[in-house]
Amino acid sequence: MNLGVYIQVPFCQTKCTYCNFHTGVVAREKYGPYADAVRREIAALAASGEISSLRDATVDTVYFGGGTPSLLEPSALAAILDALRRNFAFAESAPRDSEPARDVPPAAPLEITLEADPETIAAEKAEAWIATGFNRVSLGVQSFDERELQAAGRMHRRADIFAATRILRDAGFRNLSMDLIAGLAQQTRASWEESVARVLEIRAEHISIYLLEIDEGSRLGKESLAGGNRYSADAIPSEDAMAESYESACARLADAGYEHYEISNWGLPGFRSRHNLKYWRREPYIGVGAGAHSFDGARRWSNVHDSAKYVACIESGISPREQIEPVTQQQALEEELFLGLRQLEGIDLAGVEKKYGVSLQARIAGLREQGLLEMDGANLRLAPAHLTVSNEVFVELLG
């Protein structure tokens, strides 16, 4: 059995205006003790009976997410990976000199991803990352437009994205992912098309496109709800404009040879995110760090969100686990629908019905009549023309 490992690094240099994640801006002195706590949690987890069902699993994907994990010292990232290697069986890495040319899927059975912000990247760091074993970097680009980046409170500027890409390519990274957000404040159709054009020009192997979510927990969300104009809250594109931007990107990415495999994700052939596929396929993964979530196939659990509390728990030998819940059959079925339908290939309807001993025909009939769900051979999938209303479909399907 294969296993994914997620390492949460909940620190950022500043808080982006639209962000509602559990991340904090803390003094750099806190990074070292946090990384130490993560290493200790890995060792404790492997030694405990908590994940006995995964004891024989082989780690084939590791994902450092956040937050901004690229803020940690390369030596701290290396020490965490080393702790994983010492405590878990790892799939083999392909030798460096067999790394494939651009646009050829990497042969490495092991995918190790680091999320990074463009302004945090320097040549020495990138070289250290690749020497440590990272073979994929996911860059939080969001936009190539200066006004959008500024309104979003991002630290990087357009030039930083090009510089970071060059540094990463020179260091040997052949698998880059870039995130864009449709609907950022100050975004126009022209600025959006420009961002899509630049990411295609760079030919990132993987592209994620998210629609801006206006969350009341974010600074932008609060301002927008209050009708104010700070953070350019009065210059957020309409939902229709966001949907048009997404749809135009779908067409351009398809023309450029990218496979659209999940609502928000595209990859060149062979470059899908193997780690994230585990979430949508309900395959096991363990999460380490503050607020990290885990799933062993039968239970889901998570750690305390607060990074200071997390470090205190680990240092006092107390479990950082906050919630451990068995997944009921009903929940498993709902996850199968909700997560499975995020993938564009959809779900094997008869297979799911057989596995759970239910018929889903009555549940899906109305949505099929409305053209929101459709059959593609034996698979049930979201109709490609209605991906931007997937949340509404899920609410109706699971309601």
Cβ within 8 Å of residue 158, ≥6 positions away:
144, 145, 146, 149
Let me know the angle formed at the C-alpha of 15 by 13 and 17, rounded to the nearest 5 degrees: 145
Decide if residue 22 touches ligand SF4 (CB under 6 A): no
269 vs 317: CA distance, rounded Å: 45
Residues comprising the chain, all counted: 399
CB of 396 to ligand SF4, least distance (A): 30
Decide if residue 282 touches ligand SF4 (CB under 6 A): no
* Cβ proximity to ligand SF4, 67 vs 284, nearer residue: 67
Q: Which H/E stretch holds residue 168?
A: helix 158-171
Decide if residue 151 touches ligand SF4 (CB under 6 A): no
* Cβ proximity to ligand SF4, 23 vs 165, nearer residue: 23
Decide if residue 209 touches ligand SF4 (CB under 6 A): no
Question: Under a CB-based contact definition with an 8 Å cutoff, are residues 18 and 218 in contact?
Answer: yes
Question: Under a CB-based contact definition with an 8 Å cutoff, are residues 327 and 299 in contact?
Answer: yes
Write b or e for each residue in 150-185: b if 16 or more Cβ atoms lie within 10 A of its Cβ, otherwise e.
Answer: bbbbbbbbbebbebbbebbeebebbbbbbbbbbbbb
274 vs 285: CA distance, rounded Å: 12
Select the span of 60-68, 127-135, 236-244, 276-284 touching ligand SF4 (CB under 6 A): 60-68
* Cβ proximity to ligand SF4, 23 vs 187, nearer residue: 23
Q: Binding residue for ligand SF4 (CB under 6 A) from 2, 21, 33, 282?
A: 21
Q: Binding residue for ligand SF4 (CB under 6 A) from 8, 23, 113, 224?
A: 23
Q: Where are the beta strands (DSSP E) in 197-236?
A: 206-211
CB of 173 to ligand SF4, least distance (A): 20
CB of 121 to ligand SF4, least distance (A): 14
Going by DSSP bridges, is the β-strand pair 373-376/379-382 parallel, antiparallel, or unpaired? antiparallel
Q: Binding residue for ligand SF4 (CB under 6 A) from 16, 42, 110, 214?
A: 16
Q: How many CB atoms lie within 10 A of CB 289?
A: 27
* Cβ proximity to ligand SF4, 5 vs 149, nearer residue: 149
* Cβ proximity to ligand SF4, 20 vs 93, nearer residue: 20
Q: Contacts with ligand SF4 in 95-124 (CB under 6 A)?
A: 117
Decide if residue 65 touches ligand SF4 (CB under 6 A): no
Q: Binding residue for ligand SF4 (CB under 6 A) from 69, 133, 140, 237?
A: 140
* Cβ proximity to ligand SF4, 25 vs 251, nearer residue: 25
Select the span of 66-74, 205-213, 254-262, 350-358 touching ligand SF4 (CB under 6 A): 66-74
Decide if residue 15 touches ligand SF4 (CB under 6 A): yes
CB of 23 to ligand SF4, least distance (A): 4
Residue in the block written with tokens 């048009």: 244
* Cβ proximity to ligand SF4, 156 vs 342, nearer residue: 156
Question: Under a CB-based contact definition with an 8 Å cutoff, are residues 268 and 283 in contact?
Answer: no
Count of residues engaged in binding ligand SF4, rule: CB under 6 A: 11
Let me know the angle formed at the C-alpha of 29 by 24 and 35, rounded to the nearest 5 degrees: 75
Select the span of 14-22, 128-136, 263-271, 309-317 touching ligand SF4 (CB under 6 A): 14-22
Decide if residue 67 touches ligand SF4 (CB under 6 A): yes
Q: Binding residue for ligand SF4 (CB under 6 A) from 9, 12, 45, 349?
A: 12
Q: Binding residue for ligand SF4 (CB under 6 A) from 5, 9, 19, 196?
A: 19
Cβ within 8 Å of residue 284, ≥6 positions away:
1, 3, 4, 54, 57, 278, 295, 296, 297
Eight-state DSSP code of residue 343 = B
268 vs 207: CA distance, rounded Å: 9
CB of 91 to ligand SF4, least distance (A): 28
Q: Which residues bind ligand SF4 (CB under 6 A)?
A: 12, 15-16, 19, 21, 23, 66-68, 117, 140
